[in-house]
Amino acid sequence: MKLTGADIVIECLREQNVDTIFGFPGGAVLNIYDSLYKKGEGIRHILTSHEQGAAHAADGYARATGKPGVCIATSGPGATNLVTGIATAYMDSIPLVAITGQVPSTLIGRDSFQEVDITGITEPITKHNFLVKDVNRLAETMRMAFEIATTGRPGPVLVDICKDVTADETEFIPFDGRKRLNLDIKDLYTEKDLDEAAYAIQNAKKPVILAGGGTIIAGITDLVLELSEKMMIPVSTTLMGTSAIPSSYPLYTGLLGMHGTRVSNKAVSECDLLINIGARFSDRVISDMKRFAPYAKIMHIDADPAEINKNISVHYPLTGNTDKIMKGIIERLKKVERSEWAEQVLKWKDEYRLVIPDNGQLKPSYIIKKFSEMVPDAYVTTEVGQNQIWAAQYFDYKFPRQYISSGGLGTMGYGTGAAIGIQLAKPGRKVINFAGDGSFRMNCNELATAVYYKLPIVIALLNNGTLGMVRQWQTMFYGGRHSQSTLDRGPDFVKLAEAYGAIGIRVTKKEEVVPAIEKALSQDSVPVVIDFIIDIDERVLPIVPPGKGIDQLIYT
C-alpha cells in the first residue's frame, strides 16, 4: 500500500509498540502531526510547554520502563531545544528516539527559514543520527533508529526528516521482524577469563563490589545481590547505581566517591579487590586517581569495551553480555559462610552512620526521610545539585529504577520533565521530584503540562534561596565569596503553582512537614508544589575536596 512519509512515521511508531510520544509541533513536522491526528489511534501525544521538557519527559519514561522514549520537534530552534535532553540521555545510556523536522531537501544548505544542521550538532551526543531526504528510505531508517537505540549499550538516536519527505508517497511494506543491523553485545571474554575472575574473588581477603547504572540498564541487580550474598562482599554504588541495591540490604554501604559515605570510601581505600559492575569510573567516583583503591586489583565487568581502561587500569577485564558474565562467575564460586572483612565493614557502617543533629530546624534529611516513610514505593526523580545528593542519601530505595536523575550531564531543569514522563509510564504510582529552587526555575513551565494532563506529581522544593551546591563550594573552597549564587528574587512558588492550576503549599517548620505531605499524597489528578524553606547554608556532606582522594573526606 502507498503511504505518505508522515503516515510511514506513524506506522513505524506503531510497529515499535510506542504508546506515548512527547513533543511540540511546528512547520516542518505539520504533516506528521496531521497524520497523527488522522491515523494515530493508540499513540498518545503529550504536548509539553517546551521541547526540552519533551526530551526530559521521554527520558524519564524510558528510565522508568526500560523501553525507548520518543520525542518530536520541528526544525531549527525546535530541534536545538532538544539538544540538552539528548545529551542527558547520551551520558546516562538511555534509549531515546528523537524525531525532528527539517526544511525541504531542495532548500538544505541555503540558510532557509528555521534551518539548522541538527545531525551535525548532535553527532557527538547521539549513538547515531540520520538525515532522511528520500521517502523510500524512511521506514528502514525509522526501524534502524529503534534498533540502534535499544540494542547493545542503549542511547539516543535522532532522525531528521525533510518536510517534502513527509508529503511524498511510496509503497509501504510492513515490518517483517528482521534486525537490520548486527548490534548485539559482543562477548570479548573467554572461559579462562571467567576462571581467573572467580579465582580472584574466591581468594580475595577484602573484596568490594561497585554497582553502577549499567546493572540497572542490563537488569542484573539480582545477580549483583546474589554475588554479594554468596561471597559476603560489601556493595557500594555510583550515583547512577542508586536503587540498584535495596537501602535495607545489610551489606550495602551507600554511595562511593565525592559524596560517598565514609564506610564506602574507607572500604574501597582498603580493599584488595574492587569488582566494578556496570560503572564507568567517572571523576566523581575516583577523585584523585593516585589515591583510588591503592591496594586493590581491579575487575571491570561491562557491556561496552570502550569503558575498559578508559579512566582506571584494569587487571580483570570482562566485556560482553553482563548477565552471562555474572552467571558464569557465580556458578564457579564456593559459598563463603563467614567473612571477617564483611564484619569489619559492618562495624564501620554502624560507627560512621550519618547523624544529623536535631536542632529544631527544617532539614532536607528530615523532609526526605518523611517522604520515604510515607510513600516508600514512590518513584523519585531529582534536579541537579544538593537536592540530587540528599535524595540519594536519605530516601530508602527498594527496587531498581526507583531513583531517576541526570547523572553524567548533571542537567539542571531535568526533574519536572522526567517526573511527567515517569508518571505517564507508571500511572498507579506516586512520583516525587526533589528539586532545588535554582533548578526548578529552569523547568517550572512544565507545571502547565502536568496540570493539563492531570498528573499528580509532587514537587518537593528544597528552597534555600541560592544555588546550593555552588554556594557550598564558594563557602568551602573560594573563601566565602558568594559570587552570583544568591537567588534573592521571586517568584513566590506557591503563587506560581496556583497560577498554573496546581496546588501550592509552603512549609517553614518541622511540624508542618507531615500534614503537607499527606495533602500532597491525597491528590490523584493535580500536581502539588511543596515549598520547603530551608537554611541557605545547608550543606551536602560528606564531600571530597577538589584534588583530594576519596579517603580524604570532609564529613562535619
The residues annotated with a catalytic role in the active site are 51, 113-114, 163, 469
Whole-Å CA distances, 486 to 174, 193, 437, 459, 502: 57, 54, 11, 21, 27
Alpha carbons 311 and 284: distance in angstroms, whole number:
12
> Cβ-count burial of 366 within 10 angstroms (0-12 exposed, 13-18 middle, 19+ buried)?
middle
Sequence letter at residue 441: R
> Cβ-count burial of 236 within 10 angstroms (0-12 exposed, 13-18 middle, 19+ buried)?
buried
Alpha carbons 58 and 35: distance in angstroms, whole number:
21
Whole-Å CA distances, 185 to 24, 97, 146, 223, 488: 35, 20, 16, 18, 51
Rounded to 5 degrees, φ, ψ at 368 are -70, -40
At residue 439, the 3 state secondary structure works out as helix
Indicate the Cα dihedral angle 550, 258, 484, 490, nearest 10°.
-150
What sections of 16-137 are H helices per DSSP? 30-39, 51-65, 77-80, 83-91, 118-122
Closest by Cα among 270, 189, 197, 203 to 236:
270
Alpha carbons 229 and 282: distance in angstroms, whole number:
27
DSSP string, 247-312: TT-TTEEEE-STT--HHHHHHHHH-SEEEEES----HHHHSSGGGSSTT-EEEEEES-GGGTTSSS
Size (the chain), residues: 556
Tell me the three cell numbers of residue 463. Answer: 528552597
Tell me the three cell numbers of residue 219. Answer: 537488569
Cα Rg of the chain, angstroms: 24
3-state SS record for 514-532:
HHHHHHHHCCCCCCEEEEE
DSSP string, 305-365: GGGTTSSS--SEEEES-HHHHHHHHHTTPPPPS--HHHHHHHHHHHHT-------SS--HH
